[in-house]
Amino acid sequence: MEQTLVILKPSTVIRGLMGEVINRFEKKGLIIAGMKMIQLTDDILAEHYFHLVDRPFFPSLKRSMMASPVVVMCVRGVEAVSVVRAMTGATNSRVAAPGTIRGDYSMSGQQNIVHASDSVENAEIELKRFFRDDEIFDYKPATIDALYGEGEC
Ligand code: IDP
Ligand code: MG
């Protein structure tokens, strides 16, 4: 199975939407393999969003990401990286499709509820950025035999 990083951004924490968003991943059948609340810093955001450091909105992106603690999650499942990206929706929530998390919970291109890793390679790098090995758990959900068909995982 793949693992991917999800961050519940301050827009989710401050608006009291953590439970709703976590519930979507649980209902989908994804396994929450790790989860904790942390405060992001300048340094970790410069690393995490290195592809955006030269963009004019980077200072306001950093402020928005440090406005409250965030929840970082390790989410596991077959093809979890692409499944979670599809559930997340387009970056700009105003064009994100209804039914996606951003499409259903946000009006913003910046305060867009969740971060989700965009490739298997980046998921590995990003999970290492936020989790120690012993903070990711390999337990078997009681529902696993009903989540996947034989040989699917
Ligand atoms: P993603 O979150 O959909 O992967 P990225 O391009 O990696 O999108 O951008 C990271 C984050 O930076 C976005 O989720 C959003 O919060 C913010 N961001 C991206 N583009 C803009 C913009 O044009 N204005 C303001 N914030 C932006
Ligand atoms: Mg991205």
Please state, in angstroms and as integers, the Cα–Cα distance from residue 55 to each residue in 11, 20, 31, 52, 58, following that order: 21, 31, 35, 5, 5
DSSP alpha helices (H): ranges in the chain?
A: 10-14, 18-28, 42-48, 58-65, 80-88, 101-105, 120-130, 144-147
pLDDT band at 28 (very low <50, low <70, confident <90, very high): very high
pLDDT band at 153 (very low <50, low <70, confident <90, very high): confident
Q: pTM for this one? A: 0.98
Binding site membership of 66 for ligand 1 (Cβ less than 6 Å): no
CA of 9, closest atom in ligand 1: 16
Helix, strand or coil, per DSSP, at residue 8: strand
Q: Which two tokens stand for residue 30?
A: 């994804």
* 48 catalytic per annotation: no
Q: Which two tokens stand for residue 47?
A: 């690393």
Query: Which residue among 110, 111, 119, 126 has the greatest number of ligand 1 atoms within 8 angstroms of its CB, and so is best to mutate?
Result: 110
Ligand 1, atom 7, lies closest to the CA of: 49
Buried b (16+ CB within 10 A) or exposed e, 106-123: beeebbbbbbbbeeeeeb
pLDDT tens for each residue of 62-116: 999 999 999 999 999 999 999 999 999 999 999 999 999 999 999 999 999 999 9
Helix, strand or coil, per DSSP, at residue 5: strand
